[in-house]
Amino acid sequence: MVSLALIGFGNRAGKYASCLDGMAHIAAIVEPSDERRTYAIATCGFAPARCFSRFEDLLSSDIKVDAVIIASPDKTHYAYARECIRRGWPVLLEKPIASDPAECIELADLSARAGVPVTVCFELRYHPYFIKLKELVGTSGLGRLRSVNWTIDVGLNRMMHSFVRGMWGREKDCGPIALSKLCHDVDLLLWMLPGEPAEWHLKGERKFFRAENAPEGAAPRCLDCPLEKRCKYSAVDLYLRRREWIRNFIPLPGESVDEMLLRILRESDFGRCVFFSDNDVNDTQTITMTYPDGLKASIRMQCVRRNGSRKARFVFEEGEIDAGATAITVLRKDAAPEVYDFSGIVGSPLHAGADREMVREFVESVRTGKSTRSGISGALKSHIICTA
């Protein structure tokens, strides 16, 4: 059986661990947080002697590792991936490959030269909806593709939790939002459309989540704010009252959920006012890619709606493909719309099973040497574009 090491045992790694289904076993984890290591030992049954706080301790141990899943914070990916490639360990690497394009290129080169495969976690390539959309775009019979308009609404709660108060709010920690969020969207388009864009253009700004937009009298922390009860950005409402986005918070020993949430609201960045959060990543962003035949594909990100969604319109010479939040519709002249309904699976766990399929393919590739559908060489271009 394939022996895996997991680096960074947080949200994503926990999901990948739940997808192994007996195909592989976790020989070791590397996780610097004491709370998370305790959690991994207590709830996932990992042997304490195999839970390391430092990567170097794994390297100097005699634990046999066949492959590694890297799901630690963005800025750590490059150094971990480089060392894994050097040791001949195939890697399932969370996106982004790295935040610096030169580092992305270096890792892709190292992987190719050493013959050590790196699969980038672009799980949406494994999602039934996007697999169907790619197939329809490639075989539509609607003539030349004239334009693509792709919109992504990050969703207000995700925006506040991840990109304002959370881990992807500051460029120094994670690179620009064009990379940390939109690399999925750019990758999907590059994967679906034939050829490669000849030019790309990025434009974005931090329009809304800025101190000067704070309402008069707002306090730095939601717990102390006189406006909290009627504020739609309230962290007290999001975490304490609605109990949303709390899955990744871990209680201290003996702490109740309410006590944990109050501690987080009082002490961590998750309790800060969205207008005073030291965030600096854009909250609106567009990316336009122009193909050699003149085709323009544009991606527009916004964060104004409560629920997130991706939508796209592909306009061909003789019809359109409308990719909605839960269904894809093909519109042909003189024909009834063809509708492909995904409402039963969109929003279901593990990206509608895509995470599981990606992990399965990765483990299989480690066993058999077959390549995966999301190898680093194919994932590189999105990173070059998103960091431009």
Ligand X SMILES: NC(=O)c1ccc[n+]([C@@H]2O[C@H](COP(=O)([O-])OP(=O)(O)OC[C@H]3O[C@@H](n4cnc5c(N)ncnc54)[C@H](O)[C@@H]3O)[C@@H](O)[C@H]2O)c1
Interface contacts to ligand X, rule CB under 6 A: 7-12, 30-33, 36, 71-74, 76, 94-95, 121, 123, 167, 180, 248
In the bound complex, what is the minimum distance in angstroms from residue 217's beta carbon to ligand X? 33
CB closer to ligand X, 24 vs 30: 30
Q: Which residue has the tokens 């006590």?
A: 259
CB closer to ligand X, 100 vs 322: 100
The three-point CA angle 281-78-378 to 5° equals: 85
CB closer to ligand X, 40 vs 136: 40
Tokens linked to 163: 């990109």
CB closer to ligand X, 11 vs 60: 11
CB closer to ligand X, 1 vs 42: 42
In the bound complex, what is the minimum distance in angstroms from residue 177's beta carbon to ligand X? 11
How far, rounded to the nearest angstrom, does the alpha carbon of residue 216 sit from its chain's CA centroid? Answer: 35
284 vs 142: CA distance, rounded Å: 32
> Residue 45: is it exposed, middle or buried by C-beta count within 10 angstroms (0-12/13-18/19+)?
exposed
In the bound complex, what is the minimum distance in angstroms from residue 279's beta carbon to ligand X? 16
In the bound complex, what is the minimum distance in angstroms from residue 77's beta carbon to ligand X? 6
For ligand X, the nearest residue by Cβ is 10
341: left (phi over 0), alpha (psi -120 to 50) or beta: beta
In the bound complex, what is the minimum distance in angstroms from residue 95's beta carbon to ligand X? 5
CB closer to ligand X, 180 vs 279: 180
In the bound complex, what is the minimum distance in angstroms from residue 93's beta carbon to ligand X? 9
Find the helix packing angle between 354-368 and 11-18, rounded to 10°.
70
CB closer to ligand X, 95 vs 165: 95
In the bound complex, what is the minimum distance in angstroms from residue 233's beta carbon to ligand X? 21
108 vs 104: CA distance, rounded Å: 6
CB closer to ligand X, 70 vs 202: 70
Answer yes or no: are the C-beta atoms of 289 and 189 closer than 8 Å: yes
Range 213-242 burial, b when 16+ CB lie within 10 A, else e: ebeeebeebbeebebbeebebbbbbbbbee
67 vs 88: CA distance, rounded Å: 8
Answer yes or no: are the C-beta atoms of 348 and 342 closer than 8 Å: no
Answer yes or no: are the C-beta atoms of 80 and 55 closer than 8 Å: yes
In the bound complex, what is the minimum distance in angstroms from residue 211's beta carbon to ligand X? 26
Answer yes or no: are the C-beta atoms of 154 and 311 closer than 8 Å: no
In the bound complex, what is the minimum distance in angstroms from residue 185's beta carbon to ligand X? 11
Answer yes or no: are the C-beta atoms of 212 and 273 closer than 8 Å: no
Characterize the bridge pairing of strands 319-323 and 145-153.
Answer: unpaired
In the bound complex, what is the minimum distance in angstroms from residue 99's beta carbon to ligand X? 10
Tokens linked to 111: 């992987």
CB closer to ligand X, 51 vs 108: 51
CB closer to ligand X, 158 vs 218: 158
314 vs 144: CA distance, rounded Å: 10
